[in-house]
Structure 1
Amino acid sequence: MRAPGLGTVLRGFRDRCDFVLPGTAGSARRAPGLRREELAVLAGVSVDYLVQLEQGRAARPSAPVVAALSRALRLDEEDSAVLHRAAGLAPATGALSRSVPGSVERMVTRLRDWPVAVYSADWWLLRWNAAWTALLGDSGRLAGRARNVVWFEMTQPSPLVWVDPREEEIYRDAIVGDLRVAYLEHPDDAELADLVTALHEVSAEFAERWGAARPARYRGMRKHVEHPVAGAVVLDGDVLQVPGSDVRVVVYSPAPDSPDAGRLARLVSGGC
């Protein structure tokens, strides 16, 4: 019996997706699964190209594209290997795991008072809660590589909130240094290699920081931000490594019983 082609496998994974994208809860859906338009946005490919892949009309996709589709579909290592084989590619070896453990999923859901997000080791935004959206804006509107923190910092206009410029400089050096750690530890990860190459091509700032940065893990830092609704807020940003996983959890928290805690609480509750 002939093995299922890429189009069949890809449609199958898309149709079985049981997660709801932030900002789409409660919207009418014609069928279960992820819409082509949603998958295209998450993976950073065009809808037309995705249609061609599913209908078998496109040439063999590159390893970075298949890796991006695996991340967007939230495939575990075994299912990602199935998708790679269907695309005529060897399963990724030495690649980053971008799967979010169930315990981390529960933590993001239940920590409602503080902004919480989950990132891969190469800084792809994987999950976030409503408090994160209240503080930093709707990440669901970010498409393709804009969901990668390093790409966003090096290529996008100013974000929703103002951040102290001195802290921003330290932060940018830190995340580039952290990305270098991921690059050294996972030299065969196709999506990571593609990201680093693209950043060198589009951002002179990244190229300069990449050449100067010391490879070091980013552990977090205190940030002074000016939110357009909540005003000035001081938050401690902590990066928590998940044991046995490549993902990390970023949590922003204010000092207890401080004016910052009151401002954040009002912002998260919608009382600002």
Structure 2
Amino acid sequence: MADRSELADFLRTRRNRLRPSDVGLPDGINRRAPGLRRQEVAQLAGISVDYYIRMEQARGAKPSRQVLTALARALILTVDERDYLFRMGGENPPTVVGPNRTVPQSVRIILDLLATPAYVVDASYEILAWNDPAIPFIGDLDAHPDHERNMVRWMFIQAGDHPQWSDESILHFARSTVADLRSAYARYPGNPVLARLITELLGTAPRFADMWNSHDVEVRRGHNKRIDHPALGLLEFECQVLHISDTDQRMIVYCATPGTPTDTAFRTLAAARPTAP
């Protein structure tokens, strides 16, 4: 249900926080009020000034989805703000078509600065970016096409009698991963990438099918991991999951307890990374 009073207040505060230069307009002089003028917002959104004024006065007809979309764009709203605008306008927020695969440049900088293995995955568990210390764990993915970089596919491609399935921690990780994938499936209904992945695994991986058919749902959280690495030996660390705002991406960071052999191994990997010329 629309809340005209809250919608009016929200539009007014979002308009007042913007400078003309933020939206490509000249700042000018002798502006009596902070932020954009009502007529500037109306112009940017492609609606009449009178219509917009009535919205800020909590009057007039209920805004359409097209109007709300145009206002979200004109006011440079974040995803959360856009969803709030739609709800106050009496509409369901827009459905996101599919997982975001564009890694923000700032996140890539953080990856390169980390002295521990780390990588970024999207909601379908495709690895999008990684740092050099992560290569001994996930491989040199530059040599593989995008569709071969999926962590869920890697996990369930193993045969049902593979030794990994006798490890209770791996089973727990697999179940929680499938539950998280189901959550993503609900967020992106009809997305062809997710649909193909799930259909493929339902037909080729009986263990995945059993876990999928349990209908468990959860969002990925951190967990402890123990690996007997062929080159680095026994490693014990926490996989910390950092959610990247406005992208539905996660950065997976391997965190070892300071002073442990695993910490020493991670530091050795970081020291061995190539330096820029």
1:110 maps to 113
**SS at 1:178 equivalent:** helix
Stretches of structure 1 that go unaligned for 5 or more consecutive residues are 1-91
2:168 maps to 166
Shift of 1:104: 0.8
Which letter does structure 1 place at the counterpart of 2:124? D
Shift of 1:243: 1.0
1:232 maps to 234
Which letter does structure 1 place at the counterpart of 2:120? V
Structure 1 residues 93, 254: closer, same or farther in 2, change over 3 A? Answer: closer
Which letter does structure 2 place at the counterpart of 1:247? Q
1:177 maps to 179
Shift of 1:148: 0.8
Give yes or no for contact 2:96–2:187 (8 Å, CA) kept in 1: no
Give distance in 2, aligned partners of 1:267 and 1:224: 18
Structure 1 residues 98, 144: closer, same or farther in 2, change over 3 A? Answer: closer
Which has more radius of gyration? 2
Give distance in 2, aligned partners of 1:192 and 1:114: 30
Which letter does structure 2 place at the counterpart of 1:169? L
Give yes or no for contact 1:97–1:246 (8 Å, CA) kept in 2: yes
RMSD of aligned residue pairs (Cα, Å): 2.5
**TM-score after normalising by structure 2:** 0.58
Give distance in 2, aligned partners of 1:139 and 1:157: 23
2:156 maps to 154
Give distance in 2, aligned partners of 1:251 and 1:164: 25
2:101 maps to 98
Give yes or no for contact 2:126–2:146 (8 Å, CA) kept in 1: no
Paired residue for 1:269, among 262, 268, 271? 271
Matches within 5 A, 1:128-207: 128-156=130-158, 165-207=167-209
Matched residues, percent identical?
27
Give distance in 1, aligned partners of 2:238 and 2:189: 32
Give yes or no for contact 2:117–2:132 (8 Å, CA) kept in 1: yes
Shift of 1:189: 1.3
Shift of 1:156: 4.5
Give distance in 2, aligned partners of 1:163 and 1:157: 9
Structure 1 residues 94, 234: closer, same or farther in 2, change over 3 A? Answer: same
Aligned residue pairs total 176
Shift of 1:200: 1.1
Deviations 1:14-45 (A, max 9, x none): xxxxxxxxxxxxxxxxxxxxxxxxxxxxxxxx
**SS at 1:229 equivalent:** coil
Give yes or no for contact 2:165–2:171 (8 Å, CA) kept in 1: no
Shift of 1:120: 0.3
**SS at 2:242 equivalent:** strand
Matches within 5 A, 1:240-255: 240-255=242-257
Give yes or no for contact 1:230–1:267 (8 Å, CA) kept in 2: no
Shift of 1:152: 1.1
**SS at 1:212 equivalent:** coil
Give distance in 1, aligned partners of 2:211 and 2:220: 15
Give distance in 1, aligned partners of 2:109 and 2:222: 22
Give yes or no for contact 1:223–1:234 (8 Å, CA) kept in 2: yes
Give distance in 2, aligned partners of 1:167 and 1:181: 21
Give distance in 1, aligned partners of 2:137 and 2:165: 12
Structure 1 residues 152, 135: closer, same or farther in 2, change over 3 A? Answer: closer
Give distance in 1, aligned partners of 2:165 and 2:213: 25
Structure 1 residues 163, 220: closer, same or farther in 2, change over 3 A? Answer: farther
1:219 maps to 221
